[in-house]
Amino acid sequence: MVKFYNFASTPSGERELYIDGDISDSVWFGDECTPGQFRKELFSGTGNITLWINSRGGDCIAASQIYTMLMNYPGEVTVKIDGMAASAASVVAMAGTKVLMSPTALLFIHNPWTIAIGDKAEMLKMGEMLDEVKESILNAYEIKTGLSREKISLLMDDEKAMSVHTAIALGFADGMLTDSKCTATSIGYPEEVANGTPVQSLYKRLSLIQSKI
């Protein structure tokens, strides 16, 4: 069976985990990640883990289980989002001791949704259930960000997509992945940009660089 998650070891002995695809609580097509499979492989080794995520999300209950396993894992878990951590995958990302994002990555959160069949009473019950599912997801975001539940709830209502800077500002991420081979200082950017001082206008950035030439 082809899984979308894979464990690997680095030369330094640390473990790497790659999640690329939809998270599922059962196997339908043969390429999903299920909590049972994940648990067995996660706890078959020891040491710190770097978790790379590029996933649109999936089943929120399966994501909850994986989140809990990572939270209970004895080693440190550094999450690196290189593409997208959306929906249920954003919940998994919150288990990281540290969460880092690529400069081009996105983190996306929204209210839970489902498909239901039945009469009015069944629809009302389903609505109540979705409210409770949202409350459970809010717990993971609140623990990581320290934001109020009201603020996070509004972000979910808005179906918030976050770039790395927005995610850092709101507490969903701790930093941006950088390339030590090519820094702002090494390519001649002015000190204001190299040190990370916010310069909102592209025109201002270009002007600062031009003034240094």
Question: Can you tell me the distance from the alpha carbon of 195 to that of 102, in angstroms, rounded to the nearest whole number?
Answer: 18
Sign of CA dihedral 143, 144, 148, 152: negative
User: What's the number of CA atoms in the CB half-sphere (13 Å) around residue 74?
Assistant: 5
pLDDT tens across 115-138, in order? 889 999 999 998 999 999 999 999
Asked if residue 173 and residue 75 are part of one domain, the reply reads yes
pLDDT tens readout for residues 160-211: 999 999 999 999 999 999 876 655 444 444 444 444 444 444 445 445 444 4
DSSP H helices, the chain, are 35-42, 60-72, 88-93, 120-145, 149-157, 164-170, 191-194, 202-212
Same domain? For 45 and 121 the reply is yes
Domain shared by 149 and 165, yes or no: yes
Q: Band of the pLDDT at 88, cuts 50, 70, 90?
A: very high
Task: Give the torsion through C-alpha atoms of 14, 20, 25, 27, to 10 deg.
Answer: -110
> Percentage of residues in the chain with pLDDT exceeding 70?
75
Please state the rounded mean pLDDT for residues 3-19.
Answer: 75
DSSP three-state, residue 111: coil
Both 173 and 187 in one domain: the answer is no
Give Rg (Cα) of the chain. Answer: 20
Residues 161 and 210 in one domain: no
Residues 33 and 115 in one domain: yes
Residue 212 confidence (pLDDT): 45
d(CA 135, CA 209): 47
> Are the beta carbons of 105 and 82 closer than 8 angstroms?
yes
The verdict on 155 and 197 lying in the same domain is no
State the CATH number of the domain containing residue 165.
Answer: 3.90.226.10
pLDDT tens track for 22-72: 887 655 445 455 677 788 888 988 889 999 999 999 888 889 999 999 999
**Which domain range does residue 56 map to?**
5-177
- First-last CA distance in the chain: 56
Instruction: Give pLDDT, residue 37.
Output: 75
- Considering the domain architecture, whether residues 127 and 163 belong to the same structural domain is answered as yes
pLDDT at 69: 94
Question: Are 71 and 97 within one domain?
Answer: yes
Q: For the chain, how many structural domains are there in total?
A: 2
Residues 161 and 191 in one domain: no
Q: Do 147 and 211 have their domain in common?
A: no
